[in-house]
Chain A
């Protein structure tokens, strides 16, 4: 899997390309841990290049969102992990596992970045 990182003022964008499975999910976990360690808790995942996701990948995403949401500036403002551009097959896995309602999903990255 290829992860491209783009830093905005307030938000970090991680674009994923390839397969997010048992082999590659530690790579994403590490990338997210690095951002958290820097105090960067507002993340957008661009999933448009994602070809495949299995449960270890889902696990990294849910753990990341739980962690990010613990970080708060005010009651209304704080950290989050938001996801943009889910390809149909990945969306299907989200639907099967109830992940669709666990995340704020966006149709494009600009909208997702701007939502913070």
Chain B
């Protein structure tokens, strides 16, 4: 867990932004999610700086971030006056200018930008805000995933090759064969895969395989073709690898 403690004044905001932006980037959040986290955290820190110690000497506040599973978790703790989000009216974002209230936008933005937002108050521990952003694998629409099942052999491979050619004809260059349901691979099947790989490479594309059952993987090991094919444990890992120059 990364921790930063600062005095609650306006100068702190730039440090908070730099701290959380670096954290979000290191945690694999994409550029847009990093921006959303930065804005949400800036709003939270602004609230603390402007309200937590209003009328008194500014105290300190502490910000942390960590990653648990696919969750980027930010916390902010201060020891200022207790903050109850219920007291802040949710802005009516449909209301016309004349009736539009100017407050409440910060908390509203936090809830819109983050996946989870929770406020806690404890007389000893002070205000404790937890915000979570889910880390999602970058979506890409340039990879065609083709699930295969059953036997890949002399009987089934012509149909598989034909389907691949259809994909290539309609512009696909990155092809992933998900082999999780394949329980048998014959030498004819292996030859078909080699030809598919070659055809894709001729077009400047890539073939990758993922989720092989053990007896199928053994065929690749025994023939030495683990060196030829790009084989991945999971779909996500394979999808992320396209276009990285390691096919």
Contact = CB atoms under 8 A, between A and B. Distances in A.
B48 to A, nearest CB: 11
B49 interface: yes
A42 interface: no
A54 B97 contact: no
29 contacts: A21-B13, A21-B46, A22-B10, A22-B13, A22-B46, A23-B10, A23-B13, A23-B14, A54-B39, A54-B42, A54-B106, A55-B106, A56-B46, A58-B105, A59-B103, A59-B105, A65-B97, A66-B100, A89-B35, A93-B39, A96-B109, A96-B112, A97-B91, A97-B108, A98-B91, A98-B93, A98-B94, A101-B94, A102-B97
Given A21-B42, A55-B105, A96-B109, A62 B13 contact: no
Contact of A66 (B42, B98, B106, B108): B98
Interface of A: 21-23, 52, 54-56, 58-59, 62-63, 65-66, 69, 89, 93, 96-98, 101-102
Interface residues of B, number: 27
B102 interface: yes
B186 interface: no
A85 to B, nearest CB: 19
B43 interface: yes
